[in-house]
Amino acid sequence: MLPLRYNAPPPVRRPAMAVDLKGELTELLRSALASVAPECADSAIGLERPRQAAHGDYATNLPLQLARSLRKSPREIAAMLAAELPASPLIERVEAAGAGFLNLFLSRAAKREVVRRILEAGDDYGRLPLGGGATVLLEFVSANPTGPLHVGHGRGAACGASLANVLEFAGHRVTREFYVNDAGRQMDILTTSTWLRYLELRGVRIAFPPNAYRGEYVRDMAARIEEAHGSRFVRDAEEVIAGTPGLPEAERDDDEADAQREAHLDALIANARRLLADDYAYFHQFALTEQLADAREDLGGFGVHFDRWFSERSLFETGMVERVVAALEKAGHVYLQDGARWFRAAAFGDEKDRVVQRENGQYTYFASDIAYHANKFERGFARIIDVWGADHHGYIPRVKAALAALGLDCDRLEVVLVQFAVLYRNGQKTSMSTRAGEFVTLRELREEVGNDAARFFYVLRKSDQHLDFDLDLAKSESSDNPVYYVQYAHARVCSVLAQWGGDAALIRGFDPGPLASARELALCRRLAEFPEAVEEAAREFAPHVIAFYLRELATEFHGWYNAERILVEDPALRDARLALCVAVRTVLANGLRLLGVSAPASM
RNA sequence: CUGCCCGUAGCUCAAUCGGAUAGAGCACCGGCCUUCUAAGCCGGGGGUUGUGGGUUCGAUUCCCGCCGGGCAGGCCA
């Protein structure tokens, strides 16, 4: 279990003008505070939503906060504030209560007003100016292009895409980026795996390494190359395995055997490069292009789109990797030891120093990652956010250390960690072993449970928490399934409107005044909370807040729907209820849109 | 062994900078379709928030110890 983000985001400031209910209430309280205790007039005023209705619509613990400095009892201060609170059409009454809380009860008119606001704002209801148009680079998924995306990548995709939507809705300009690891050993392993499968097809008998990529998709790529080029890339088995140490017995799983397998694979890669010469690049490019196209298609089908696919290889081709290492060296943060170049990460808060260039001259993944992040800073984004698998948490200090050593403000980099999802079927954990090649792919998941259920389930937990993904529940067509539960509320509203049959455009002008029942007013209050949910989701990088909110809103709508009839005889009351219906539909649709889930008109 | 994180109802999880009587869903039990979609609603039982201390008006929340679990600790990515 890991923290949601590595360091605190910049403070989010509310606009100075009271443009919303909460802001107006705060101003009223500030006015009362100024007359009760002028010396504390600029204290922070926290307004919260009490859990219990008896504690009002909003409450503040201001009296408790001030008790010490004013040398008065909290109850006394609360009573004084209540007496000095200016009269307002928003407020029905105030109460000093509990240990020293001030509870505010809104007038019915104030509660109903949100319906009018929602009908006016439409798709934009919940949109906030918090980000002030600041640019954000959000990097997520960034899976190695060495095979199909699996269900772990799916969670990063769903969380990242939802977070991007939320940040955009909260007033940021978001660039969505996928970092393509097209330069490392993993790609060489995929390239060689493809060639070995090709050789197999041509009847060349070579033991396929257990640590190479064994998936069926590798055979598919090999078959297509074989179809197009015939025997052009065939070499003798003796040549292919020349100079390799050979494989240890399959049963052995000790360190020595593992090391031998790795050495064997590296030797095969070296032979492939030598024997294929220029054609090696063909295999490499073919596999890369195939896997990226596959990922793009898969993610696109999942409603996840990127503005840019950033190539790791380009960082080498433009000399960026050399440049950042040289910059670190020039600043005295790099030294030579055992033939390798080490970055003094420990001097910048990391546990130990890290290699940036290996003894054999190859740069490490870390080196290109430094270059990548330096490049992000050069592009001038106000905020840089990485969404990583939680198993990479130990990697954060070294990247931050490198940025600091380059003289960059490493606090501008924020890292969201996403835990893996574990699939359950019939109450049993489904196996997800990569080395056996039998992992569950994102595509299989999407086909089995559908895109909507997958997107929603992935963000049903805080992203840094383990997620138990119940496949049976995700597929069930019942109220047990939270996706259908929320979507059904939306479809119900649409159905009522269809039943009514009038001109939907007119509803915008309907007067919510006749709304008066407890359920209706509670629903209004819930609708007014949506911008607060968006704010929290954006501030905490927590799209699950939106999912929770939608479930609560749907609950209150279903309750109202079952308790009271909407299409009643009285035209004024019917119109008011239709207005509330449209407001509910609007908020459900806006929330679902942030999560990349469809809002069906019928189910 | 060291570092980071987590521990809340039978299960999966929430809990607003430290706030009021710790909340949902699932599972379980009992009701509701001649009336706008029953993919819905209403009601019920369920808790020493792992444990022992500390900080204070107040602790699930902050600090320390212990117990249990996860992840990380490569010239891998």
Distance A42 CA to B57 C1' (A): 23
Examine the pLDDT at A314 and tell me if it is beyond 50: yes
- Residue with CA nearest to B32's C1' atom: A562
Which nucleotide is closest to A493, CA to C1'?
Answer: B36
Examine the pLDDT at A346 and tell me if it is beyond 80: yes
A221-258 exposure pattern, b = at least 16 Cβ within 10 A, e = fewer: bbeebbeeeeeebebeeeebbeebeebbeeeeeeeeee
- The reported pLDDT for the residue numbered A144 is 92
Examine the pLDDT at A538 and tell me if it is beyond 90: yes
Which nucleotide is closest to A99, CA to C1'?
Answer: B20
CA–CA separation, A143 vs A310, rounded Å? 12
Q: Quick one: CA dihedral A568, A570, A571, A573, positive or negative?
A: negative
Question: What tokens does A271 get?
Answer: 């032979």
Question: What tokens does A405 get?
Answer: 């050593």
Q: Residue A3 — pLDDT band, cuts 50, 70, 90?
A: very low
A481: closest CA among A462, A461, A443, A454?
A454
Per-residue DSSP letters for A119-130? Answer: HHHGGGTT---T
CA–CA separation, A392 vs A511, rounded Å? 54
Contacts of A228 (CB under 8 A, 6+ apart): none
Examine the pLDDT at A437 and tell me if it is beyond 80: no
Which nucleotide is closest to A358, CA to C1'?
Answer: B75
> Where does residue A319 rank: exposed (0-12), middle (13-18), buried (19+ CB within 10 A)?
exposed
pLDDT in tens, A253-263: 777 888 889 99
Helix axes A571-595, A151-169, angle to 10 degrees: 130
CB A323 within 8 A of CB A338: no
Which nucleotide is closest to A49, CA to C1'?
Answer: B16
Type and span of the H or E element at A415: strand A413-418
Give CA torsion, residues A382, A388, A392, A396, to 10 deg. 10
- The reported pLDDT for the residue numbered A377 is 96
Q: Residue A2 — pLDDT band, cuts 50, 70, 90?
A: very low
- The reported pLDDT for the residue numbered A54 is 82
Distance A306 CA to B39 C1' (A): 33
Examine the pLDDT at A579 and tell me if it is beyond 80: yes
| Amino acid at residue number A163 | L
Distance A17 CA to B38 C1' (A): 47
Give the 3-state secondary structure of A490-549.
Answer: HHHHHHHHHHHCCCHHHHHHCCCCCCCCHHHHHHHHHHHCHHHHHHHHHHCCCCHHHHHH
Distance A51 CA to B47 C1' (A): 18
Type and span of the H or E element at A138: strand A135-139
Distance A71 CA to B56 C1' (A): 16
Distance A451 CA to B32 C1' (A): 34
CA–CA separation, A453 vs A447, rounded Å? 11
Distance A430 CA to B6 C1' (A): 23
- The reported pLDDT for the residue numbered A469 is 85
- The reported pLDDT for the residue numbered A309 is 97
Helix axes A571-595, A530-539, angle to 10 degrees: 10
| Stretch A5-18: mean pLDDT | 36
Helix axes A185-201, A255-276, angle to 10 degrees: 70
Q: Which nucleotides of B are covered by protein (CB under 7 A)?
A: 3-7, 12-17, 19-27, 35-37, 39-42, 57, 69-77
Distance A526 CA to B55 C1' (A): 37
Where do the DSSP E strands lie in A190-256? none
- The reported pLDDT for the residue numbered A431 is 57
Distance A324 CA to B68 C1' (A): 45
pLDDT in tens, A443-495: 999 998 899 999 999 999 888 888 888 888 888 777 678 899 999 999 999 99
CA–CA separation, A239 vs A241, rounded Å? 6
- Residue with CA nearest to B40's C1' atom: A558
A327-343 exposure pattern, b = at least 16 Cβ within 10 A, e = fewer: bbbeeebbeeeeebbbb
pLDDT in tens, A19-38: 467 888 988 999 999 988 88
Edge-to-edge strand ranges of the sheet holding A421-425: A428-429, A421-425, A467-470
Q: What is the ipTM of this complex?
A: 0.94
Which nucleotide is closest to A554, CA to C1'?
Answer: B40
Q: Quick one: CA dihedral A232, A237, A238, A241, positive or negative?
A: positive
CB A114 within 8 A of CB A528: yes
CA–CA separation, A293 vs A283, rounded Å? 15
CB A125 within 8 A of CB A162: no
Distances A595 to A157, A304, A545, A588, A589 between C-alpha atoms, Å: 11, 10, 11, 11, 10
Examine the pLDDT at A220 and tell me if it is beyond 80: yes
| Stretch A103-121: mean pLDDT | 93
* Beta strands at A58-60 and A101-106: parallel, antiparallel or unpaired: antiparallel
Q: Residue A47 — pLDDT band, cuts 50, 70, 90?
A: confident
Which nucleotide is closest to A490, CA to C1'?
Answer: B37
Examine the pLDDT at A197 and tell me if it is beyond 80: yes
pLDDT in tens, A366-412: 999 999 999 999 999 999 999 999 889 889 999 999 999 999 999 89
| Stretch A108-122: mean pLDDT | 94
- The reported pLDDT for the residue numbered A348 is 92
pLDDT in tens, A72-82: 888 888 999 99
Q: What is the mean pLDDT of chain A?
A: 90
- The reported pLDDT for the residue numbered A258 is 84
Which nucleotide is closest to A419, CA to C1'?
Answer: B71
Per-residue DSSP letters for A83-117? Answer: HHSPP-TTEEEEEEETTTEEEEEE-HHHHHHHHHH
| Stretch A204-232: mean pLDDT | 95
